[in-house]
Amino acid sequence: MSEQLSKRLFAELESLVLIDPHTHINPHSAASTTLADIMGYHYYTELAHSAGLSKELIEEPGIDPKEKVGRLVTQLDDLDNTIQLSWLLEICSEFFDFQEDAITESNWEKLYDTAAEKMAQPDWEQQVLKQSGLEQVFLTNDFDDPLEGFDTNLYIPCLRTDDLVFHLAKSETRERLAKATQMGIGCSKTLRDAIGELFTHFTAKGARACAISLPPDFSPVAVTAEQVDSAVRSLFAGNELTCDESKIVSQFVFWTLAEYCAVHRLPFDLMIGVNRRVYEAGVFQGQDLYDKRTSLIQYKELFNAFPNVTFPVSVLTSTSNQELVSYSWIFPNVVINGHWWYSNTPAFIHFDCKSRLEAVPKTKQVGYYSDMYKLEFALPKFRMYRRVLANVLASDFVIGRNWSEQRAIDLGKLVLRGNVETIFGC
């Protein structure tokens, strides 16, 4: 009975048209043009490299897309146990009518050519959106993105702020900020004003969130303009800052972002706990990992200081998930957001999903986001989550608590879509 129940719930959840609240889609090139765009996703390059394919073969300058796919295919047999490879096979089955059980050295070229032919169709992007059941897609836009040349009702802007907080010491970042705001910046006040100008620009273009990824050792604290002014003046004069000066500038910029989120009523997405360049010899985007030093206690001052700012929080581990559950349980402005990166596999999703649905108000959970770079990945990723969600709803709510199927379906639809609409104001 449980299996049939799960299938019925899944079918209902699968019919729901979605809003994807966090992606890395380029709205000017949202869908893939070759199979290399799909297999070049960092999951496949980093797994292939981990299994033995050299970085030089994967990232050879000027490599032809078809040649790159052929090289990656040689490593796929070692990856056939992974959920990521199941995404790839599902994409090929759903979009390119691929009927084989595996992509091999004997069949990949036909698949490549079939995919290229379909992707060349002028309405390919619309086909993918429709088949994937996607109504809107959130972006992660650089702070100096002009936000022009695409439909902002379909592709929703989001102000990504990592460079402002952590890379302002780079002259290139400061130059980009000055150009984007058309402001002369030389002190803490003008820096604050420039950040405010970015918010004005983004909200005028329909932005629905501000977002940042954060390292384990970052602790946001209130820093006044007076406290940081000397360091900001030195920085914009081109001087090199000490570690302590860099830290206080980062904290000032971060706190200023939170202040403007309050002014403009934007949620502030926090993706907490990533260490950059742990594996320095790794492939592109295959260098970053986490550790267990992360704690949300580092954010208590922030959460307390901005009760009217909603903080959708993503974490990388199940250990951190339990802490996130407790913070969302207590803090009205802390919202659970998706299953991020290294937690984005069914085993971790199942455990984390159960604990969240058991303990956190149902209106404070954004069930899933794809984190995708190309549109084709929405279908297999959301389908993976919906399967897990259907199983949890069946076992824990319909069977475990004697809920009706419709009541369980309504809960599933709330965390899949309803909460995205209310939390992000869609």
Q: Which two tokens stand for residue 335?
A: 């919202």
Which pLDDT score, from 0 to 100, does residue 124 have?
98
The CATH code of the domain that includes 183 is 3.20.20.140
DSSP state of 395: I
Residue 88: pLDDT band by 50, 70, 90 thresholds? very high
Q: Which tens digits make up the pLDDT trace of 285-339? A: 999 998 888 899 999 999 999 999 999 999 998 889 999 999 999 999 999 999 9
Last residue of a domain, one of 97, 119, 141: 119
Report residue 359 CA to chain centroid gap.
24
In angstroms, the CA 425 to CA 144 distance is 23
299 and 341 housed in the same domain:
yes
Q: Which tens digits make up the pLDDT trace of 342-376? A: 999 999 999 999 999 999 999 999 999 999 999 99
- DSSP states along 35-68: HHHHHTSHHHHHHHHHTT--HHHHS-TT--HHHH
Site of tokens 């000066």: 245
Mean pLDDT, the chain, as a whole number? 96
Last residue of a domain, one of 99, 119, 139: 119
Which pLDDT score, from 0 to 100, does residue 236 have?
95
Judge whether 100 and 107 are in contact, CB under 8 Å: yes
211 and 270 housed in the same domain:
yes
> Which of left, alpha, beta for 142 (phi over 0: left; psi -120 to 50: alpha)?
beta
Residue 1: pLDDT band by 50, 70, 90 thresholds? low
- Phi/psi for 138 (5° steps) reads -80, 145
Q: Which tens digits make up the pLDDT trace of 125-150? A: 999 999 999 999 999 999 999 999 99
Number of structural domains in the chain: 2
- Tell how strand 365-366 and strand 268-272 pair up: unpaired
Domain limits for position 340: 127-424
The CATH code of the domain that includes 94 is 1.10.2020.10
Judge whether 19 and 421 are in contact, CB under 8 Å: yes
Q: Which tens digits make up the pLDDT trace of 17-75? A: 999 999 999 999 999 999 999 999 999 999 999 999 999 999 999 999 999 999 999 99
- In-domain check, residue 21: no
3-state SS class at 136:
strand
In angstroms, the CA 280 to CA 220 distance is 27
Which pLDDT score, from 0 to 100, does residue 224 have?
94
